[in-house]
Amino acid sequence: MRRHVSRQPPHAEITAAKPVAVKGGQACQINLISRPTSDSEIKIEVMIPIGAAWNGKFVQVGNGGLAGSIPAAQIKLRAEEGYASAGTDDGHGGNGRTAI
């Protein structure tokens, strides 16, 4: 029998969790903010296909350049391919083209 265990790192806060439609079924989208140090704020998005939609694999997507935003379209695309996927803003907001 599987039992649900909820664990959250002391430096992370779950800001949203909801089901979303993806090709092939549904996924659970989870948004977090991690503050491992007092001067950091790292936004994270995770999408995990539910049930048979998950292929049992994980992929971390990148956002290249100067980052600054969560690559949401890439995360969803990988989830639609069956992967649990995640991405971050690398701890700073921006448009990926200019340093902020």
Pairing of strands 84-88, 58-60: parallel
Confidence at residue 97, expressed as pLDDT on a 0 to 100 scale: 58
| Domain locations along the chain | 16-88
**What does each of the 100 residues of the chain score in pLDDT, given as a tens digit?**
455 556 667 888 899 999 999 988 999 999 999 999 999 999 999 999 999 999 999 999 987 766 788 999 999 999 999 999 999 998 887 655 555 5
How far apart, in whole angstroms, are the C-alpha atoms of residue 57 and residue 70?
20
pTM equals 0.82
